[in-house]
Amino acid sequence: MTAVASARVLASDYEEVRACRGPRSRLHMAIAIHRTVDGRSLGGLRFEPYDTPDDALTDVKRLARAMTVKAAVTGLRLGGAKGVIAHPPASPPDPELRTLALHDFAQLVDSFDGRYITAQDAGTSIDDISCVGRFTDHIAGRPRCKGGSGDPSPYTAHGIEVAIRTTLQAPIAGRHIVIVGLGHVGSHLANRLHDAGARLTVADVNDAKLVLAEQLGAQWMTPEDAIGAEADVLAPCALGGMLDLDTISRLQVSVVAGAANNQLASDLAADALLERGIVWAPDFVINAGGLIAVEDELHGFDQRRVERSIERIGDTLNEIYDRASRAGTNNLIAAQQLAVQRSGGLDGNNT
Ligand SMILES: NC(=O)c1ccc[n+]([C@@H]2O[C@H](COP(=O)([O-])OP(=O)(O)OC[C@H]3O[C@@H](n4cnc5c(N)ncnc54)[C@H](O)[C@@H]3O)[C@@H](O)[C@H]2O)c1
């Protein structure tokens, strides 16, 4: 068996970070454990282009920390972690290289002796996670036919629907909702909202998504126009950083609630939304449906239990809105404070 010679990376706020070059694939990869709870941490594997190995390392640490906050505010006894495999932007891996890299990554996962559990994330599929699972036991999000929770996206979309319903404080039927990003989560969300009777406007950089828009009778717009569309709700379901001071000044909605991680370009954006009277449902609170499903698999997957737990995202959201209104603060600060309270502190190296 080829050994993975990984190097521990000095990262003071993190329980452990290891990086290596895969012995088979020669691709750079890293795992960051922000912290463990009861000896465990969980976070998906990103297989993405990065300009440099350092960029990948910065990203994996940032994402691991965000997983700690998400698990804490959701009330899951789980630490935050993340894994990345980086490929050069100009050369996406062919299937053979992909399998070698996933094998290398599985060995890196194994080197943590179960303290890190990996799962699907951006740039990986359920087939990729099955492939990793051929070489390590420490995976979650196995296919449904193998007793796993399967694709997390439908569960994430369920959580976003709960958040929209909770924030509107009214049924979804008849409301006008704009979805930007019709990928895994956005398309499930569009179907759910369509079934609930919403009027939809949708946007994506990929014109192939127009087919789904037509099937649902949704209006199609460019992402640029969709951000400024007059509607009840904007649901950002593409990439992070969409809400900056410029885009916020153009919003014509009363609610922003979507799946995209790190929607706010900076913390100042939370104040800008508050000043405009727009209710922002914090992304790391409402997009936890997938994490809830994957975590449930660790106890023997039970779909009804997962669905009940996702419905409770609404209670968490109401608590955040109450706290923010009582303290006169924004929803980001209120959500972060709740995460700290629910976990007894969010620093790494402390559990
Ligand atoms: N998949 C999950 O269960 C899950 C869980 C939590 C958070 N998230 C977050 O939700 C977001 C969407 O995840 P996903 O799994 O659906 O990803 P995805 O890659 O399947 O979908 C993203 C979609 O956004 C589109 N897109 C990219 N840039 C765009 C732009 N500038 N304007 C409009 N559309 C654009 C892409 O073409 C694609 O259709 C990501 O930020 C992800 O981190 C996903």
Q: What is the pLDDT of residues 243-286, one digit of tens each?
A: 999 999 999 999 999 999 889 999 999 999 999 999 999 999 99
| CATH number for the domain formed by residue range(s) 7-67+81-139 | 3.40.50.10860
Tens digit of each residue's pLDDT (9 = 90 or more) over 11-70: 678 999 999 999 999 999 999 999 999 999 999 999 999 999 999 999 999 999 999 999
Catalytic (active-site) positions: 82
Task: Report CA(144)–ligand 1 centroid distance (Å).
Answer: 22
**347 — pLDDT class (breaks 50, 70, 90):** low
Helix axes 153-168, 289-297, angle to 10 degrees: 130
CATH 3.40.50.720, the chain: domain bounds: 153-288+316-342
Q: H-helix or E-strand containing 228?
A: none
Please give the average per-residue pLDDT across 4-16, as a whole number.
78
pLDDT confidence of 345, banded at 50, 70, 90?
low
Pick from 161, 261, 296 the residue to mutate for probing ligand 1's pocket: most ligand atoms within 8 Å of its CB: 261
Output the CATH code of domain 153-288+316-342.
3.40.50.720
Q: Is the CB of 66 under 6 A from ligand 1?
A: no
User: Does 209 have pLDDT greater than 60?
Assistant: yes
One-letter amino acid at 189 equals L
Every domain of the chain with CATH number 3.40.50.10860 lies at 7-67+81-139
Give the model confidence (pLDDT) of 134-181 as tens digits: 999 999 999 888 889 999 999 999 999 999 999 999 999 999 999 999
d(CA 130, CA 212): 28
Residue nearest to atom 10 of ligand 1 (CA): 260
Distance CA 62, CA 57 (A): 9
Q: How far is the CA of 92 from the centre of ligand 1 (A)?
A: 19
Residue 157 in contact with ligand 1 by CB distance below 6 A: no
Predicted local confidence at residue 346, as pLDDT: 61
The separation between the first and the last C-alpha atoms of the chain, rounded to the nearest angstrom, is 33
Our mutation pick for probing the ligand 1 site, out of 126, 156, 212, 243, counting the most ligand atoms within 8 A of Cβ, is: 156
3-class secondary structure, 33: strand
